[in-house]
Amino acid sequence: MKRDTFTGRVGFVLAAAGSAVGLGNIWRFPYLAAQYGGGIFLLVYLVLVLTVGIWLMSAEIAMGRKTGLSAVGAFRTLNSKYSFIGYLAALVPILVLPYYSVIGGWVTKYFFAFVSGGAAASATNGFFDSFTASTFEPLAWFLVFLGLTAIAVFFGVEKGIEKVSRVLMPVLVILAVFIAGFVVLQKGALEGVLYYLTPDFSRFSVKTVLAAMGQMFYSMSVAMGIMITYGSYMKPDVSIATSAKQIALFDTCIAFVSGLMIVPAVFLFSGGSEQSLNQGPGLMFETLPKVFQNMNGGAAIGTVFFLLVLFAALTSSISLMETVVSIFQDQMKLSRIRASLLTLVISIMLGIPSSIGFGLWKDVRVLGLQFLDFFDFISNSVIMPIVALLTALFIGYVIKPQTLLDEIERTSPLKSKGWFSLTIRYFAPVCILIVLITSLLSTFGLFTI
Ligand code: PHE
């Protein structure tokens, strides 16, 4: 059967960017940047995107286009002994989709709160905590978000949603730039802007690198087989390297602006205390309503903003669910309906503990983490680095970089060829290995950094 293809580079870049740009950029990046020292996190993140990220993305796309298959099949075709890397990659979206939908549910809740005149209430201290600590409300919103995702996947309306989001994405960018501009110009924001932009090298640690690396994989949708699948739909005359650079640029800019919108606002509204910078997953939800509260027409702007974030989150969750469904379809020979139902059941089962982990189960900890943080940690800081490491070793030493370079160079010769091989063979594996081992040891208390 001939595979459907994207219409051209623009089509491919937009579809892949729709998957890449999501809650990772707007919700996750700012709270990690706040937590891990602002400027230093930003710097490490940028270096990682430019070195490991872009090449890994190019390599995954090339693997997909060369084989015409998604993760498991692509590894198997290139060398049948290594299909386990594909399986490991496939585990990531299965673990991410449930808790992604919990956060998506929070966004849905905030959108409806703003629509129904609750903008001021949502800016009060304790609003977020009491919402997430209640049992049923967050669960209900989680199910609404997951349901919306499932409907799109069931009825195949994702094409429609993608069309809409192509128009809405640029609007989101413009709005985020506007909000960031507003925040930066407030009196008292300077300290926060400096915290976000100036690297403080005394705060550099292996943990910063691990957090930045996990975020880079997550945000760029690499190290989980998704870009392999996207590559399998890409036409041969579209440039892989140029596409990867454009997706990375777009993705990074949105993360950067989101940080600029949220991190200085923490200084504005809570003086940048350590506790407020360390809020974690709640940061965006605590901070942005306060920003809107201080803006003329803030309630309306906030409503539009949360709607746009909801769309960005949906395009990403749809691509996550699509991936999981197609894995179940291919590997278990299930019909599309059954595979979708199985995905739903698993997501609900894993999503429930993540949701009630902020309330009813707040004393239940795994490795000292709440459920949501635990799933996030296992997928982003453990499995994804391992998949990225194995993928780099596989390309570097089993199939050899040249195999993929042939695919990448089908459109035009790659000037930075040497970098590609160097990164894939040495830089990426060494960096990932050091970071992964040190930080795992420290997590289990065997080592202090
Ligand atoms: N990259 C998406 C984000 O930044 C998350 C995601 C990961 C989506 C993997 C799809 C697949 O939000």
Q: Is the CB of 258 under 6 A from ligand 1?
A: no
Q: Is the CB of 25 under 6 A from ligand 1?
A: yes
Q: Is the CB of 226 under 6 A from ligand 1?
A: yes
| Ligand 1 pocket test, candidate residues 107, 257, 316, 320, most atoms within 8 A of CB | 316
Model confidence at 167, pLDDT cuts 50, 70, 90, reads confident
Q: Is the CB of 421 under 6 A from ligand 1?
A: no
In the predicted model, what is the mean pLDDT of residues 327-333? 83
pLDDT at residue 245 in the model: 93
Q: Which atom of ligand 1 is nearest to the CA of 25?
A: 4
pLDDT at residue 200 in the model: 92
CA of 320 to the centre of ligand 1 (A): 7
pLDDT at residue 28 in the model: 93
CA of 158 to the centre of ligand 1 (A): 16
CA of 97 to the centre of ligand 1 (A): 9
CA of 265 to the centre of ligand 1 (A): 25
How far from 216 is each of 29, 47, 252, CA to CA, in Å?
9, 10, 9
The predicted-structure confidence for 21-34, as pLDDT tens digits, reads as follows 999 999 999 999 99
pLDDT at residue 64 in the model: 93
Whether the CB-CB separation of 303 and 111 falls below 8 Å is answered with yes
pLDDT at residue 389 in the model: 94
**225 pLDDT above the threshold of 90:** no
User: Hey, what are 186's tokens?
Assistant: 């407030």
**412 pLDDT above the threshold of 90:** no
Q: Is the CB of 232 under 6 A from ligand 1?
A: no
What is the pLDDT of the chain when averaged over all its residues? Answer: 89
Whether the CB-CB separation of 67 and 73 falls below 8 Å is answered with yes
How far from 118 is each of 36, 129, 131, 311, 385, CA to CA, in Å?
32, 16, 13, 21, 41
Q: Is the CB of 318 under 6 A from ligand 1?
A: no
Q: Is the CB of 254 under 6 A from ligand 1?
A: no
Q: Name the residue with the closest Cα to ligand 1, atom 8.
A: 316
Model confidence at 270, pLDDT cuts 50, 70, 90, reads confident
Among 60-64, 107-111, 362-366, 432-436, whose mean pLDDT is lowest?
362-366
Model confidence at 358, pLDDT cuts 50, 70, 90, reads confident
Residue (of 320, 315, 311, 243) closest to 13 by Cα position:
243
Q: What is the biggest distance separating any 2 CA atoms in the chain, rounded to whole angstroms?
A: 61
Residue (of 103, 66, 52) closest to 387 by Cα position:
52
Q: How far is CA 164 from the centre of its chain?
A: 21
The predicted-structure confidence for 282-323, as pLDDT tens digits, reads as follows 999 999 999 999 988 889 999 999 998 998 899 889 889 988
**1 pLDDT above the threshold of 50:** no
Q: Is the CB of 380 under 6 A from ligand 1?
A: no
Q: How far apart are the first and last CA of the chain?
A: 53
Q: Is the CB of 18 under 6 A from ligand 1?
A: no
pLDDT at residue 192 in the model: 94
pLDDT at residue 445 in the model: 66
In the predicted model, what is the mean pLDDT of residues 238-266? 94
Q: Is the CB of 24 under 6 A from ligand 1?
A: yes
Q: Is the CB of 231 under 6 A from ligand 1?
A: no
**Better-scored residue on pLDDT, 3 or 105:** 105
Fill in the DSSP letter of residue 321.
H
Model confidence at 229, pLDDT cuts 50, 70, 90, reads confident
Q: Which atom of ligand 1 is nearest to the CA of 251?
A: 4
User: Hey, what are 241's tokens?
Assistant: 């390297």
Q: Is the CB of 149 under 6 A from ligand 1?
A: no
Q: Give 352-355's long-range contacts (Cβ < 8 A, gap of 24+).
A: 352/139, 354/98, 354/99, 354/102, 355/102, 355/105, 355/138, 355/139, 355/142
CA of 146 to the centre of ligand 1 (A): 15
d(CA 194, CA 265): 12
- Which residues have a Cβ under 8 Å from the Cβ of 22 and sit 6 or more positions away? 100, 312, 313, 315, 316, 317
CA of 186 to the centre of ligand 1 (A): 32
CA of 53 to the centre of ligand 1 (A): 14
- Which residues have a Cβ under 8 Å from the Cβ of 164 and sit 6 or more positions away? 311
The predicted-structure confidence for 2-19, as pLDDT tens digits, reads as follows 566 666 777 778 778 888
CA of 55 to the centre of ligand 1 (A): 18
DSSP per position, 112-155: HHHHTT-HHHHTSTTHHHHHHHSSHHHHHHHHHHHHHHHHHHHT
d(CA 15, CA 13): 6
**247 pLDDT above the threshold of 80:** yes
In the predicted model, what is the mean pLDDT of residues 52-59? 94
**Better-scored residue on pLDDT, 3 or 77:** 77
Q: Is the CB of 319 under 6 A from ligand 1?
A: yes
Q: Is the CB of 252 under 6 A from ligand 1?
A: no
d(CA 228, CA 223): 9
**344 pLDDT above the threshold of 90:** yes
